[in-house]
Structure formats: C-alpha cells, structure tokens
Amino acid sequence: MSESASLRFGLPRFDPRDDQQIEAEIDDELTFHIEQATREFVEAGQSDDDAKVNALARFGDVDQVKAQCKRIALEERIMLQRINLVLMIVVLLAVAFVSVQMYVTQKHNTLALQAIVADLAGMKVAATQASRDGKVTILGAVSRPGLYPIPKVGDYTLADVLVDAGPSDRAFEVKLFRRVHGERTLFAQETISMLHEMDRLKEQIVDGDRVVVAPVLNYQPAQSTSHMGFVYVDGSILRPGAYALQAGGNMTVSMLIKAAGGLKHSPVQVQVTRFDETGNPQMIVDSLINRASDLNQSDVLLQPDDHVILSAAGEPK
Amino acid sequence: MARKKPPELLPGTLDLMILKTLAVGPNHGYGIARRIKQTSDDVLHVEEGSLYPALHRLAKRGCLDSEWRSSESNRRAKYYRLTRKGRTKLKAQTRNWAQLTTAIDKVLSARTAGKAATKGWA
C-alpha cells in the first residue's frame, strides 16, 4: 500500500529509524556476514585467526561498504532536507511577496482614503458654497430692481449687488435688511455720495437679504465745485458718459467701471487713453478682463480727460 | 595488498543475480552470497561486501522487503524477500539479459566472418 503510494508519487519510502539505529543495523548485518564466513573457514579446518582474515578478505572494504549502505539509507533524508530547504525558500519568498503586496495595497488604500477624505472635504466646501447659494432682493432707486442670485464662488458684497442693479442716482442711501433670528432687521445703512465710495459697502450678502436704495435729494456734496475735471467712459458699460473727478478722490479704472454701473459684457477689452502735454493720445492700459477687479496693476489712477473704452471681445474697437 | 581482483561484473548483473536468488525464497546477505557462488560454480567471484549496497538500494526501490529474523545458527539476521515489484523487475531484467547476451553472441560469432572478409579484401 505504502509501496504503491510511494511508487505513484515517485517519493522514497519513509524510514522511521534514526541515524544511530540505521548505523547499528548496518553494523549488525555486516558483522553477521563476517561471522558466518569466519565460521565457514573454521569448519573447513582453518585456525580462528586465519578464518577471520580470509573472511574479511573475501568481504572487501568493510568501512567503505558501511559508508555506502549508510548513504543509501540516508539519501532520502538528504533529499528531504533539500526539499525542505527549497520549500522554506519558496514559503519565505511567498511571505515576502504577500507582505510587499499587502504593503502596496495598504499604501494604495491609505492614498485612496486620503483621496476620499479630500473629496469629502471638497464636498463640504461645495456644501458651504451651496449654502451660500441664494437670492438677494434689491429695491428702490436702481436701474434693475429685482431678485439677484448670490454666486456660489467668490465674494458677493453689498457693493456687488449695487453694481449689478445699478443705482439710478449719484447720491443715495442704501439699507441692508437681514433676517436675524427670524426677524427682519436693519443690518447696515450707508449714504453714498460719490459712486466710488461704494467700495465701503463690504458687507457679505447672504440668502434672503433685502437691499433698499433711496435717492438723496438735494444732495450737496461738500466739495461739489472742487472737481478736477472729467473722465470719459464708453463702450460695453451700463451708463457711459462723463464722470467728475473729485479733488483727492483717487478714482481708479475699476472704480469708474463700478460707478458707471458695471460691465455690460464679459470679457471685455479695457483701453485707457491719456493725452500728453502736446495732445498726443497714449494708451496706458490695454487688458482683457472678466470683471473690474481683474485689473490689478492696470487699475491706474485716472487723471482728467482720460478716456476709458470697453469693447466686448470680438467687437470692433 | 596484492590480491587477484575478481572479474568485473557488467552493471546491473549483481541486481539481477540477487533478485534471481531471492526468487527461490527469503534469505540473508550471507546466504545470497553463498548461493550465487554455488550456482555460478565459483566463476563469478563477487566481492561479498559489494552485495550489501546493492541489497539496500533494491530494498529502497521497493524491490525487496527486509525483516530481522533468527537464522539457522540462532543469530539474528536480516532477511530479504522479493516484493511484487521485485518480481516484475526480475522478469524484465531477465528478458533484457537474454536479449543482450543473444545480441552479444551474434556480434561475437560474426567476428570470425569479419576477419575472413578483411583478409580477402586485403
């Protein structure tokens, strides 16, 4: 049974004896042989010593035979040891491979988790932005009263609402009403005499705000006569025309755009032309913007008689 | 040691002789050696020690079973017995041996004719 099994798998039969047992059995077997041979010679009439010598001579090299027999008995063990070694190496390699794989997977998972966390954070941001999504009502002395959506991204201040709606008077009073704990209350109030003063209106607009604009009649600007001159704005702008430059007013291009009601199109090419002492026009600004605040370095301080031309992209200049 | 060396055995011959001897019945190494010597009329002078590695190898391959038993002299001896596999091997090797010897015989008997032919050609 075990024989056929070992035959089938081509494996040597398992020898349960240990090394010393094997050696002892070989010794026993060979000794028996030499004893028998010696006895044979003695029975043939030889002396004990002669018989022993002859028996050994006929046997050959006892130690060599012993060694050969031992090697045969143990060869399977040596082979098993080799197989064990190979198996151990294979197992070690497998373990190493699995470890590396696990490490890589873990790393990958960690990265994926980080990505998910980042995504969630992004979604949270989006959610807060979405929560800013809402509408503001603007009423009163404006060109376009009504409901304005609050953009999802970026700032949206009281000044922005006014630019969108376009105040119809140079001087006006703006009131911002907001629901606080369910009750509509007056949240901010400002009187604007010069349009560029709108930069003061920095309140962030939230959903449900209501802005009411009232004209200030008979408004007497403190230095109404001390204006330095006019600048001119034309093109893709809500209220083109001449605007007075107040002394010490420091009006920039973006302020002028806001004062003139804001851009009609987006993007637009902004060109500012200034006349030098000899009356030659010099173009001091020429840039493409999406909104007034895009001007940055090109947001120069205006001087009397500057011309600001806004042309919608693609429109002939 | 100036001792006359016994004639070399062809490889596999010793295995064949062991298997054949054990086909008669179980025996120990010494018994096998004596039997081979008797049956071969002392022509095959096998160095008796060389029997044991061959026996062990055959046992390991499953051609032989071994068992410690008390011998005729009442001393414990290792007895070997043919297994089914050993019997099959014996048959196969006997057949091979017959084929080999016939072939060698043919070659050897053809040698004289070859010599004559060479003479004629020369």
**CA pair distance A169, A175, nearest whole angstrom:** 15
B5 pLDDT higher than 80: no
Query: What's the total number of domains in chain B?
Result: 1
Any CB–CB contact under 8 A between A62 and chain B? yes
Handedness of CA B2, B7, B10, B12 (dihedral sign): negative
* pLDDT > 90 fraction of chain B, expressed in percent and rounded: 47
Which chain A residues are within 8 Å of B50, Cβ to Cβ?
Answer: 60, 65
Cis peptide before A267 (omega within 30 of 0): yes
Nearest to A282 by CA among A260, A258, A305: A305
Mutation to test the B interface, candidates A59, A70, A77, A78, most B Cβ within 10 Å = A59
**CA pair distance A258, B67, nearest whole angstrom:** 115
A129 pLDDT higher than 90: no
Across the range A24-49, mean pLDDT stands at: 93
Mean pLDDT taken over chain A = 82
On whether residue B6 sits in a domain, the answer given is: no
A6 pLDDT higher than 70: no
* Structure confidence at residue A2 as a pLDDT band (50, 70, 90): very low
* Structure confidence at residue A132 as a pLDDT band (50, 70, 90): low
Nearest to A70 by CA among A24, A38, A31, A124: A24
What pLDDT shows up at residue A219? Answer: 61
A130 pLDDT higher than 60: no
Flag if B78 and A64 touch (Cβ within 8 Å).
no
Which chain B residues are within 8 Å of A32, Cβ to Cβ?
Answer: 28-30, 71, 75-78
Of residues B47, B48, B56, nearest to A33 (C-beta): B48
Q: Write out residues 38-77 of B within 8 Å (CB-CB) of A.
A: 47-50, 52-53, 56-57, 60, 62, 71, 73, 75-77
Render chain A in DSSP notation, one character per residue. Answer: -HHHHHHHHTPPPP----HHHHHHHHHHHHHHHHHHHHHHHHHTT--HHHHHHHHHHHH--HHHHHHHHHHHHHHHHHHHHHHHHHHHHHHHHHHHHHHHHHHHHHHHHHHHHHHHHHHHHHHHHHHHHHHH-EEEEEEESBSS-EEEEEPSSS--BHHHHHHHH-BSSSSEEEEEEEEETTEEEEEEEEEESSGGGGGG--PBP-TT-EEEEEE-TT---TTTT-EEEEEEEEESBSS-EEEEEETT---BHHHHHHHTT-BSSSSEEEEEEEE-TT--EEEEEEEEESSGGGGGGG-PBP-TT-EEEEEETTS--
* pLDDT > 90 fraction of chain A, expressed in percent and rounded: 24
pLDDT per position as a tens digit, A59-105: 999 999 999 999 888 887 788 888 999 999 999 999 999 999 999 99
Across the range A282-297, mean pLDDT stands at: 83
Task: Using the structure block, give the residue that is written with the tokens 């230095």.
Answer: A223
What pLDDT shows up at residue A128? Answer: 58
Contact present, A244 and A230 (Cβ < 8 Å):
yes
Taking the CB of residue A220, how many other CB atoms lie within 10 A of it? 8
Contact present, B7 and A10 (Cβ < 8 Å):
no
What secondary structure letter does DSSP report for B10? P
- Check: CATH 1.10.630.10 for A227-312? no
Alpha carbon of A97: minimum distance to chain B alpha carbons (Å): 39
The one-letter amino acid at A103: Y
A134-215 and A227-312 in the same fold: yes
What pLDDT shows up at residue A258? Answer: 85
* Structure confidence at residue B13 as a pLDDT band (50, 70, 90): confident
Which chain B residues are within 8 Å of A62, Cβ to Cβ?
Answer: 49
B115 pLDDT higher than 60: no
**Of A13-17, A136-140, B88-92, which has the strongest mean pLDDT?**
B88-92
**CA pair distance A130, A172, nearest whole angstrom:** 32
Helix, strand, coil percentages in chain B from 3-state DSSP, rounded to 5: 60, 15, 25
The domain that contains B36 carries what CATH number? 1.10.10.10
What pLDDT shows up at residue A32? Answer: 93
**CA pair distance A257, A253, nearest whole angstrom:** 6
pLDDT per position as a tens digit, B45-94: 668 898 999 999 999 889 999 999 888 778 889 999 999 999 999 999 99
Q: Which strand ranges, in their side-by-side order, compose the sheet holding A307-312?
A: A241-246, A227-235, A307-312, A268-275, A281-289
What pLDDT shows up at residue B2? Answer: 44
The domain spans of chain A are 2-99, 134-215, 227-312
**CA pair distance A237, A230, nearest whole angstrom:** 17
Across the range A128-143, mean pLDDT stands at: 75
Tokens representing A260? 């003139």
A290 pLDDT higher than 80: yes
What pLDDT shows up at residue B1? Answer: 44
Nearest to A196 by CA among A252, A237, A158: A252
Alpha carbon of A95: minimum distance to chain B alpha carbons (Å): 36
Alpha carbon of B49: minimum distance to chain A alpha carbons (Å): 5
pLDDT per position as a tens digit, A158-178: 888 888 888 877 788 888 999
On whether residue B38 sits in a domain, the answer given is: yes
Query: Domain limits at B61?
Result: 13-113
**CA pair distance A107, A113, nearest whole angstrom:** 10
What pLDDT shows up at residue A315? Answer: 53
**CA pair distance A29, A42, nearest whole angstrom:** 20
**CA pair distance A310, A269, nearest whole angstrom:** 6
**CA pair distance A213, A137, nearest whole angstrom:** 11
Nearest CA in chain B to A6: B62
- Residue A314 class from Cβ within 10 Å (0-12 exposed, 13-18 middle, 19+ buried)? exposed
Flag if A3 and B62 touch (Cβ within 8 Å).
yes
With a CB cutoff of 8 Å and minimum separation 6, the contacts of A58 are A37, B47, B48
- For A61, phi and psi rounded to 5 degrees? -75, 105
Flag if A60 and B71 touch (Cβ within 8 Å).
no
Pick A289 or A51 by higher pLDDT.
A51
Any CB–CB contact under 8 A between A43 and chain B? no
- What CATH number should be reported for the domain whose range is A134-215? 3.10.560.10
Any CB–CB contact under 8 A between A27 and chain B? no
Contact present, A190 and A232 (Cβ < 8 Å):
no
On whether residue B4 sits in a domain, the answer given is: no
Taking the CB of residue A182, how many other CB atoms lie within 10 A of it? 5
Mean pLDDT taken over chain B = 83
Alpha carbon of B52: minimum distance to chain A alpha carbons (Å): 7
Flag if B49 and A64 touch (Cβ within 8 Å).
yes
A279 pLDDT higher than 60: yes
